[in-house]
Amino acid sequence: MLRKKGILKSSFQISIITLSVKFLGLIKQAILASYCGANKETDLFFLSSGIMAAFCIVLFSALSISLLSMHTEMLIQEGREQSNKLINKALRLFLPISILISILFFTFSPLLSLIIAPSYSTDERSELIYYLRIMSLLFMFWCYSQIVNVVLETDKIFLPGRLRNLFQNLLIIIAALLLYKDYGVKSLLFAFLLSGFFEAVILTICARKKLKFTFGKIPMDDKMKKLLGLSVPLALGNAIYEVNDIVDKQISTGLGHGNVSFLTYGSSVNEIVTSVIITSVSTVLFSHFATWVSEKKIDKITDSLKNSIELLSIVIMPIMVVCLLCGDSIVYLLYGRGNFGEYEVNKTYGVVIGYSIGFAFQAMRANFSKVFYAFQDTKTPMVNGIIAVGCNILLSYLLSRVIGISGVALATSISMIIVTVLLLSKINKYLPDFSIKSSIYEILKIIIAGIVAFVSLYVLKKHLCFSIVTNFVIEGFICLIVYVVTLYVIKSNQILSLKNRIFRN
């Protein structure tokens, strides 16, 4: 029997560890900004590591999502022995594929460098090609880790799969402090690769009691054909964030040296929200959704989706308000030292504003997508993802010409709003009783509270004259208090429910 954990409890646990990892990630970015700055070298690091990581996510996160749904169904219906056979077949089939992908990326790195950095000189592209070839090894580590992690997440064990970024951040910090001065970007890239190896080892140790490894021929039976059939369209649909990131970086290279770095530093704030809050909740939801689909408990999916949308909206709104009004303070506190001056802070602040506008819609789309994946429908999110990429390419190009690098981030948010609305219109195919109208009054209350907090914070900022740290602490505290009190006064259902739970306990 699968271990039962509450969605809220599991999400909170993941959020805490992810927040810790992201905090370390912010320290890493602050060290990179201070020691390395925002220049051609940092652009090359963020391009080569970011592009390859994005391709890994597109390919193998899609595989893990499809495999988790099939593995959950088989574990419930046929038992651990049969579900282990599925995992071993997946390893025997996809590990050789990952090696082939690494070889292809190594071979065609010159073409890839031309696509992602067409404005670079011949010498700059030569460096980028070399770095891309180093990072091509990442595919093998990522493939293995994603498949093995399915065994743990099926049993609602989420922590080990969150450790990759922990190793990555620690190793890159060490490389930046001790090796970057002598070895440059190469030291950072090898640290990045080594973190993938460490994750694979940790996952193997954690899964050893649940997964028995077996060897045999490379399979191509009905199960693997089904897995491929689900994974291919899902890879295209799941590419929404990653392909958008690739497009954003490609456009940023044409705006001058340093802009890729501004985009990356600014997106770190965005990633705190997407990883700590949105991804944590959607990861737990998907695991439960897949179980409930196998058990035919559709009503539970409907109720959980409604509650998650409302709760995420409540949590995200004050964060968005603070990012919009105090994003410059956030950037200064994180990066404003050493080689990162006022100009760099202002450029990065523009990126923070652009991304923050789409926070709530990122949350909704992430959870909507998990419903389709749980029902093994990967084509609908695929089409939705293609639309998102098309919108982002067009808007990024147009807005970057008007407002520079902040336009690239804003384009991502606008495209997210468009595709979230489109995906919502399709969800009744699987959840006939779900309607966003049932949450509309709660969402309106959240918006009203957000506006009140925004105005209060705007007025407050004009009268504070302490240090940046003191001002930011006061601003964040007052914003949160005004927001929560407003929600309570206008009788937010989620706030009243939370109050009842606290006093009942």
Of 127 and 61, which is predicted with more confidence?
A: 127
Nearest of 367, 126, 411 to residue 243 by alpha carbon: 411
What does the alpha-carbon distance between residue 38 and residue 25 come to, in Å, rounded to a whole number? 17
pLDDT of residue 283: 61
Any idea what DSSP says for residue 217?
Answer: P
Question: pLDDT at residue 238 above 60?
Answer: no
If residue 237 lies in a helix (H) or strand (E), which one and from where to where?
A: helix 222-237
Please state the separation of Cα 58 from the chain's center in Å: 12
Q: Give whole-number Cα distances, 447 to 272, 399, 459, in Å.
A: 22, 26, 18
Q: How many CA atoms lie within 13 A of 438 on its CB side?
A: 10
**How many other CB atoms are found less than 10 A from the CB of residue 465?**
7
What b/e string do you get for 423-456 counting C-beta neighbours within 10 Å, with b at 16 or more?
bbebbeebbeebeeeebeebbebbeebbebbbeb
Residue 183's pLDDT band (cuts 50, 70, 90) = confident
Mean pLDDT of all residues belonging to the chain: 82
Nearest of 363, 350, 450 to residue 410 by alpha carbon: 350
Q: pLDDT digits over 342-401, tens only? A: 888 889 899 999 999 988 888 888 888 888 888 878 788 878 888 888 888 899 989 998
**Strand (E) positions, 245-300?**
none
Residue entry with tokens 């897949």: 290
What's the token pair of residue 352? 């923070």
What does the alpha-carbon distance between residue 393 and residue 247 come to, in Å, rounded to a whole number? 7
Nearest of 435, 440, 437, 277 to residue 368 by alpha carbon: 435
Residues whose CB is less than 8 angstroms from the CB of residue 208 and which lie 6 or more positions away in sequence, other chains included: none
pLDDT of residue 158: 67
What does the alpha-carbon distance between residue 340 and residue 343 come to, in Å, rounded to a whole number? 8
Phi, psi for residue 257 in degrees, rounded to 5? -60, 140
Per mean pLDDT, which range of 220-224, 400-404, 419-423, 431-435 is the poorest? 220-224
The fraction of the chain above a pLDDT of 70, given in percent, is 88
Residue entry with tokens 């970011």: 50
Under the phi-then-psi rule, with left for phi > 0, alpha for psi from -120 to 50, and beta for the rest, what region is 382?
A: alpha
Q: pLDDT digits over 241-252, tens only? A: 566 677 777 788
Question: pLDDT at residue 234 above 80?
Answer: no
